[in-house]
Amino acid sequence: MNTQNTNHLRSESHSHDQEPPPILRILREGIVRVVQEEAERLNPEPAQAISRWLDSGDPDAAERFLLRLAEDGDPAIQWCMGMACAVGLGAEKDWPRAIDWFRRSAEQGYAEADPTADVEGIDAGRKICILADLAFGHQVNPEKVPMEGITGLDLKDVELAGHHGYRIKLLGRCLRLEGNRRTAYVAPHLISADNPISDVNDVFNAVVVRGNATGEVMFYGKGAGELPTASAVVADVMECVLESRPRPEIGWSADEGGFVSPMELKGCWYFRSHTPAERVQALVPEARILEAGKDTVFITPPVTGQEAEALAKRLPVSAHLRVLG
């Protein structure tokens, strides 16, 4: 990234002749799909051109097309630009500029003008608390649920994850443990590209439920936009008006007992450390080394969160994330 691109990302107005910020290189998986869908909606020829530009390794023309769509008022692309500014992808974090893009998108019913609750994991945390209440029958206090967003992510880890067959997604999880214990948390995870959750992008949301008999069941659909939001609201109103029979109350116990820290959960962790691979293997003999060089990138065997944090204190760690098993 160079200073010239950063300045253009921050400028209050843009010229189509200026060099655009490297948005597509940064949010490749999510934004490329959005751009291609938008191009196909507008004209199939630009979509084909974008594919050729990306395949040739020259995304600049596609970036200019993306920036033009945002400036011309496309709410989906404006949202993508806001995300790039909010989390510092392609440039330094620029909240005023991010808020401006989100505001433009929100005015068209696409996104919230203040993205803090989304990018910091707060919105997902509130939702996972409600789901946990309903699923387990006991209240889950949001103040006890760790909520980690995406603002701390590094582009290098996004690229490394993609290179090794993973994608990074923000997940909210609630789990029932042995002994009628429960836990919940929100955090970015490495997810295998083979997992259907890895393909949930743009305004789409997914909820995965694991049952004793059913196994995993995924519910998938749009979670933003004028029509999806309006449809959900109108459906609830119609159900209240038209439903004549008494409805069973849905509730849960106010007892918060049994909630435990998610740091007690065992799972694999992704690490990127400025530590020789030999030392990593000495400390974690069963670690799977993904890359060894200036940085050693590895995935641990299943360990608790406390053990992962202890390892992070012993190594000069640049990043460590949970891996969805």
Lookup: tokens for 160? 């490394």
Nearest to 79 by CA among 122, 120, 108, 54: 108
Lookup: tokens for 260? 């435990």
CB 76 within 8 Å of CB 202: yes
* Amino acid at residue number 273: S
Lookup: tokens for 17? 């002749």
- The C-alpha atoms of residue 99 and residue 103 are separated, in whole angstroms, by 6
Q: Nearest 10 degrees: CA dihedral of 187, 193, 195, 201? A: 60
Nearest to 131 by CA among 171, 172, 169, 170: 172
Sign of CA dihedral 126, 132, 133, 139: negative
Which of 127, 169, 222, 313 is catalytic? The answer is 127
Count of C-beta atoms within a 10 Å radius of residue 44: 10
Lookup: tokens for 241? 């008006």
- The C-alpha atoms of residue 85 and residue 253 are separated, in whole angstroms, by 42
- The C-alpha atoms of residue 310 and residue 262 are separated, in whole angstroms, by 15
Q: Is 127 a catalytic residue?
A: yes
From edge to edge, which strands make up the β-sheet containing 317-323? 166-177, 181-192, 317-323, 269-273, 296-299, 288-291
* Amino acid at residue number 173: R
- The C-alpha atoms of residue 289 and residue 277 are separated, in whole angstroms, by 8
Q: Which residues are catalytic?
A: 127
